[in-house]
Amino acid sequence: MLRRGGRLEVKVLTRNEGKLREFIELGSEYGIEVVEVGLPKKEIQAETLEEVALHSAANASPLVKGLFFAEDAGLFIDALKGFPGVYSAYVLKTIGVSGILKLMEGVQMRDAFFKSVIALRVPREGIKIFRGEVKGRISFEARGSGGFGFDPIFIPEGEIRTFAEMSVREKNMFSHRAAAFRAMADWLRTTFKP
């Protein structure tokens, strides 16, 4: 595997600057250099985040050399029967944060969770899946200017702030994406020792 200055290089298939910042920060904790792949991530509409992440990784496999991963995530709201879930990116583009808050008007039960799935393509081994989840609740209004996506309305368990009110480092202490990345990084450290 490619190493630069003792750091393992892992490419990420994303055009989301927020995700990229989080992955780079997480990689620095593990001595992993996260490098953006300049390809559009091809997403499908599917029933699970796993299917979406696997499809993205498999589609890019012939085009990208070395270790790389694709990630998909979703916000699952209990009162909305898991909506928007796997359709989170589409829902964000169409009705946005304000649309979710409108759907939640008058709803007191605000439990929700974020889930992240990473599909890591390992040369000569195939694709490995890593998952992360964080429980929390939906706020009554959008708060904070950091983060991206539904971060302004998600408060992780044990916190009073939304993800958007946290720095990248603080969010990475709680987030679903960080949990999936750490699971992948632990596997990489065990598998590809310097």
Q: Is the pLDDT of residue 192 over 80?
A: no
Fold observed for domain 3-191? Maf protein (3.90.950)
Q: Is the pLDDT of residue 6 over 80?
A: no
163-172 pLDDT tens trace: 999 999 999 9
72 labelled catalytic: yes
β-strands 3-4, 84-85: how paired? unpaired
Q: Which of 72, 78, 111, 151 is catalytic?
A: 72
145-159 pLDDT tens trace: 999 999 999 999 999
pLDDT of residue 115: 98
Contacts of residue 30, defined as CB under 8 A and 6 or more positions apart, other chains included, come to 182, 185, 188, 189
Per-residue pLDDT, averaged over 117-126, amounts to 94
State the Cα–Cα distance between residues 70 and 182, nearest whole angstrom: 15
State the Cα–Cα distance between residues 80 and 144, nearest whole angstrom: 24
Task: List the structure tokens of 159.
Answer: 């916190």
pTM of the model: 0.93
Q: Is the pLDDT of residue 45 over 90?
A: no
What would the 3-class secondary structure string for 27-83 be? Answer: HHHHCEEEEECCCCCCCCCCCCHHHHHHHHHHHHCCCCCCCEEEEEEEEEEHHHCCC
Q: Is the pLDDT of residue 1 over 50?
A: no
